[in-house]
């Protein structure tokens, strides 16, 4: 029975709960060419997909919410790590664009990849953005791309953040992969002028030969950032209590660190890890509890 159509991106077909494991396995096989094992889960991808179906908690939902997570960040590490908010709205039509600066970032709080980066407001097509954002706001992201049930109960908002960048329009996005409350692996992705590169490092900035098959690697490995130890400390504080979470942090030219997001099921758990065996090795680092109490 082919039911993976329910998991196609952009479709609003909501699979009954008892069919979700079957649909998820079909979706995973079609996207990766591999079998998904949920009983028991073995690899990191297996375990992330198990979490999507059986391990989501209210705390995970709150921290996935790009708006509500900000209060938690303030309490855990302090407001200085937050990108300043310029506005929070229930409806696109309530946004006063005249009051916004020439550069800003518009996003929704309840999904991934729902961002509009505005570098020149004078050239910003508001009507086109409205159609796009209203489409995002009408969609339950938990049923869009391989069940990610932590998104399901988020009260949808539109948020506008201050635009941040480094010299040369390059922004380093350090993605700390954390296992059982410890950051063990940092995926460093360079974003700027359309270029995306990836490399992985351990907590001492030793290169790790990992790849996810998503982005090409750097031609030359980036240097260790001056405040790397502080980023490791921040990631360590934020990841406590979770079997797996990816903590995303930005490093700015002035030496400051800004919080990006808490991601519990990156790429909806369908990475292809390289070299062979990496997915299995990383899976050993994640301890699941059947009661979902982490």
How far apart CA 268 and CA 79 sit, in angstroms, is: 29
Structure confidence at residue 83 (pLDDT): 97
Is residue 199 within 8 Å of 249, Cβ to Cβ? no
For residue 219, what are the contacts with CB-CB under 8 A and spacing of at least 6?
Answer: 197
* 210-243 tens-digit pLDDT: 998 777 888 888 889 889 999 999 999 999 999 9
Average pLDDT rounded to a whole number, residues 161-176: 87
Q: Which two tokens stand for residue 247?
A: 């903590």
Domain ranges for the chain, please list them: 84-162, 167-263
Structure confidence at residue 204 (pLDDT): 95
Is residue 177 within 8 Å of 186, Cβ to Cβ? yes
- 15 band by pLDDT with thresholds 50, 70 and 90: low
Q: How far is CA 1 from CA 23, 38, 144, 218, 269, in A?
A: 9, 19, 20, 43, 23
Measured from the Cβ of residue 287, the count of other Cβ atoms closer than 10 Å reads 12
Average pLDDT rounded to a whole number, residues 263-292: 89
Structure confidence at residue 13 (pLDDT): 47
Question: Three-state SS for 178?
Answer: strand
Average pLDDT rounded to a whole number, residues 203-212: 93
pTM of the model: 0.91
Pick the CATH number of 167-263 from 2.30.30, 3.30.470, 3.30.420, 2.120.10: 3.30.470
Report residue 219: phi and psi, to 5°.
Answer: -70, -40
* 54-88 tens-digit pLDDT: 999 999 999 999 999 999 999 999 999 999 999 99
Is residue 257 within 8 Å of 234, Cβ to Cβ? yes
Q: Which helix (H) or strand (E) holds 161?
A: strand 158-162
């Amino acid at each position: 029975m082919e039911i993976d159509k329910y998991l196609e991106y952009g479709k609003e077909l909501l699979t009954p709960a008892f069919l979700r494991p079957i649909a998820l396995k079909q979706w995973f096989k079609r996207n990766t060419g591999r079998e998904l094992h949920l009983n028991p889960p073995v690899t990191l991808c297996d375990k992330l997909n198990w979490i999507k179906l059986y391990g989501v908690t209210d705390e995970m939902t709150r921290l996935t919410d790009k708006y509500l997570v900000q209060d938690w960040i303030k309490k855990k590490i302090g407001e200085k790590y937050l990108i300043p908010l310029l506005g929070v709205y229930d409806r696109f039509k309530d946004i006063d664009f005249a009051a916004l600066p020439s550069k800003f970032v518009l996003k929704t709080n309840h999904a991934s990849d729902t961002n509009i980066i505005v570098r020149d407001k004078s050239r910003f097509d508001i009507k086109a953005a409205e159609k796009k954002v209203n489409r995002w706001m009408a969609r339950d992201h938990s049923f869009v791309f391989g069940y990610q049930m932590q998104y399901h109960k988020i009260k949808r908002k539109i948020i506008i953040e201050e635009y941040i960048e480094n010299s040369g329009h390059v922004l380093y996005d350090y993605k700390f992969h954390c296992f059982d409350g410890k950051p063990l692996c940092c995926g460093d992705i360079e974003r700027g002028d359309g270029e995306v590169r990836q490399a992985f490092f351990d907590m001492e900035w030793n290169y790790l030969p990992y790849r996810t098959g998503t982005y090409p690697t750097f031609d030359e490995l980036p240097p260790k950032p001056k405040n790397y130890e502080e980023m490791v400390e921040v990631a360590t504080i934020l990841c406590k209590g979770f079997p797996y979470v990816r903590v995303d942090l930005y490093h700015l030219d002035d030496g400051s660190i800004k919080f990006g997001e808490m991601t519990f099921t990156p790429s909806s758990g369908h990475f292809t890890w390289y070299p062979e065996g990496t997915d299995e090795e990383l899976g050993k680092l994640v301890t699941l509890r059947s009661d979902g109490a982490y």
